[in-house]
Amino acid sequence: MNKQPIQKPIQSRFGAHTTAQEVIGDLSLKGKVAIVTGGYSGIGLVTTRVLASAGATVIVPVRSLEKGEAALNHIPNVEWMPMDLMEPDSIDAFAERFLASGRPLHLLILSAGVMATPLRRDRRGYESQFSTNHLGHFQLTARLWPALKQENGARVVSVSSRGHRLGGVDFDDPNFERKVYDKWKAYAQSKSANILFALELDRRGQTHGVRAFSVHPGLIPDTNLARDLREEEWGPRPILDNQGHSMTNEHHAEFKTVEQGAATSVWCAISPQLNGLGGVYCEDADIAEAVPGDSLRPDGVRPWAIDSEAASRLWRLTEEWIGIRFAAE
């Protein structure tokens, strides 16, 4: 069995203020093929633009062809195709179309997501944040697996959030069928799932040269992610104890631009500093530090998101929930 990845900073030369363009520098990605979900808005759009500017061919799944064209038609080396992460048939159609092209897939960046939405369910009855952020991306990666293996050196980047610290995956009731719906707990669950997915995918994919990473992009107010929030709800989320009392003060939390927010995704996708590494959670263009579950720090990754047994359990259950066996090993 592969060793548990070391969750410890490697002292990259980058930091919180680094932009995606600074990460990529003069690196040429000519001949590389990337897929970026959410690649037509926010940090996803910056990721698309930076990868394409370095010569990569970037394919962007879009829920709205009209919005996709408006955002992307001026960027060279970019293609877009319809896909909805909450519609399994749509995911399959996108993947089949890409596989039919015969191209390898060098970079898969799972950047699309929703945050703190009102209770919604997909047609299968699954809670929308879990469906969009985790289940849809799991299915997409499973369907694209032949193209990822074809490259023998591909990377998968799962965009998570420091919001994972608000709670892990509730394996007994992930869809809030028995407990009262809490939009922040649902968001945290989906973001913890993103980290666990990258951990298990990396373990299973190493023999095929596929490495996976999860990232926290930063607190970025200038995106559509907060479209379901009231103005007073936008901002850092406090950690609460069992009595509901705040355990930390984040009034001085630092926000990032979208260009800075895309930096860690791009770093995980292309940095030679990560050669031979994988399965780690990253922030500020470096590997993040593992911290205790009761830590008052806003940064770092919590134990429930890097638990290898939980990652393996989530993988098996996800296969059951979506009816797809992901034979990554």
In tens, the pLDDT along 36-46 reads 999 999 999 99
pLDDT at 277 over 90: yes
What pLDDT is attached to residue 296? 87
What pLDDT is attached to residue 298? 86
Structure confidence at residue 152 as a pLDDT band (50, 70, 90): confident
pLDDT digits (tens, 9 = 90+) for 190-202: 999 999 999 999 9
What pLDDT is attached to residue 327? 75
Structure confidence at residue 1 as a pLDDT band (50, 70, 90): very low
CB neighbour list of residue 288: distance below 8 Å, 6 or more residues apart: 7, 9, 216, 280, 281, 282, 299, 300, 301
Of residues 14, 12, 132, the one with CA closest to residue 83: 132
For the segment 53-77, the average pLDDT, to the nearest whole number, is: 97
pLDDT at 248 over 50: no
What pLDDT is attached to residue 228? 53
Using a 10 angstrom Cβ sphere, with 0-12 exposed, 13-18 middle and 19 or more buried, the burial of residue 242 is: exposed
What pLDDT is attached to residue 217? 95
What pLDDT is attached to residue 223? 53
Q: Is the distance from CB of 202 to CB of 278 less than 8 angstroms?
A: yes
Of residues 161, 192, 197, 198, the one with CA closest to residue 174: 192
Residues designated as active site = 187
For the segment 123-141, the average pLDDT, to the nearest whole number, is: 98
Q: What is the 3-state secondary structure (H, E, C) of the chain?
A: CCCCCCCCCCCCCCCCCCCHHHHHCCCCCCCCEEEEECCCCHHHHHHHHHHHHCCCEEEEEECCHHHHHHHHCCCCCEEEEECCCCCHHHHHHHHHHHHHCCCCCCEEEECCCCCCCCCCECCCCCEHHHHHHHHHHHHHHHHHHHHHHHHCCCEEEEECCHHHHHCCCCCCCCCCCCCCCCHHHHHHHHHHHHHHHHHHHHHHHHHHCCEEEEEECCECCCCCCCCCCCHHHCCCCCCECCCCCECCCCCCCCECCHHHHCHHHHHHHHCHHHCCCCCCEEECCEECCECCCCCCCCCCECHHHCCHHHHHHHHHHHHHHHCCCCCCC
For the segment 266-291, the average pLDDT, to the nearest whole number, is: 97
Of residues 27, 192, 29, the one with CA closest to residue 107: 29
Query: How far is residue 141's CA from residue 193's CA, in Å, rounded to a whole number?
Result: 14
For the segment 4-14, the average pLDDT, to the nearest whole number, is: 93
pLDDT at 225 over 60: no
For the segment 60-82, the average pLDDT, to the nearest whole number, is: 97
pLDDT at 241 over 60: no
For the segment 244-267, the average pLDDT, to the nearest whole number, is: 74
Question: Which of 13-27, 171-185, 222-236, 304-318 is predicted with the least confidence, judged by mean pLDDT?
Answer: 222-236
Question: Which of 165-179, 209-223, 257-271 is predicted with the least confidence, judged by mean pLDDT?
Answer: 209-223
What pLDDT is attached to residue 219? 85
What pLDDT is attached to residue 249? 44
Structure confidence at residue 2 as a pLDDT band (50, 70, 90): low
What pLDDT is attached to residue 208? 94
Query: How far is residue 134's CA from residue 152's CA, in Å, rounded to a whole number?
Result: 24
Average pLDDT, the chain: 91
pLDDT digits (tens, 9 = 90+) for 96-120: 999 999 999 999 999 999 999 999 9
